[in-house]
Structure 1
């Protein structure tokens, strides 16, 4: 079993345990897997659906360079996993915390011409939720 960070579109990341086999990773991301290693300083990888963009899966989170500029976006559900000697490994607790904070805020993507605008999705507070029942009517 691997302890990993599961990041779904429009949701906060969650720490989960999944099987370490290829089929387990494929099931978690909904198809054939691809891996990216955008964080050179840390022994972690992002495991994602390799066909996610082609399949039209919703964009999930932006990947940013050291200056905070977006250079890519991950489509669909992805995992943040640790790196072992030759394979994926459990994510150490301090890395899980670091990447939970990095990917904590869900993001929305808006296409403006040939540009992509990334907006944080605000958390709904109970006071902002719409009322579910109409105001009471008074009989005369």
Structure 2
């Protein structure tokens, strides 16, 4: 082998769920490296572990500080909101020491959990979270595509 022969440096592909503001979750393939994860969420990443399942939410660490659009509310076991994710996020599986693809069962579970996009309405000091009606969710996705 000479120094000029190409070396296969293909990164492992992960099958994960991508959740964007105003849109339904989508199953995507993404490289496992840090750069790909950062591109997917638009900045530095932070892993959040809000569920007992072996999954992590990969969020933009500075999403709220940078004014990214609010995406989905995170709720506790009593369905009370304890945090809101700003900007797009990924749901990935957890391996022994790294992120992995979601299993088919976890993919379906989290597709259902985050299926309905949410709207956030500030009323005085309170923030109200309501599910977006189906036609509104499709319209906002379509509007974003046309604006490009």
TM-score by length of 2: 0.82
Compute the RMSD of aligned alpha carbons.
0.9
Whose radius of gyration is greater, 1 or 2?
1
Q: Any unmatched runs of 5+ in structure 1?
A: 126-140
Instruction: Give how far 1:92 is off.
Output: 0.5
Partner Cα separation in structure 1 for residue 110 and residue 127 of structure 2: 23
Q: How many residue pairs get matched?
A: 124
* Mapping for residues 121-136 of structure 1, pairs under 5 Å: 121-124=132-135
1:32 paired with 2:69, answer: no
Partner Cα separation in structure 1 for residue 130 and residue 46 of structure 2: 25
TM-score by length of 1: 0.87
Q: Secondary structure at the match of 1:66?
A: coil
Instruction: Give how far 1:116 is off.
Output: 1.1
Give the helix-richer structure, 1 or 2. 2
Q: Secondary structure at the match of 1:47?
A: strand
Instruction: Give how far 1:114 is off.
Output: 2.0
Partner Cα separation in structure 2 for residue 19 and residue 115 of structure 1: 39
2:21 to 9, 15, 34: 9
Partner Cα separation in structure 2 for residue 68 and residue 30 of structure 1: 28
Partner Cα separation in structure 2 for residue 29 and residue 72 of structure 1: 17
Q: Secondary structure at the match of 1:28?
A: helix
Q: Any unmatched runs of 5+ in structure 2?
A: 1-12, 137-148
Deviating beyond 4 angstroms after TM superposition, the runs of 4 or more aligned structure 1 residues are: none
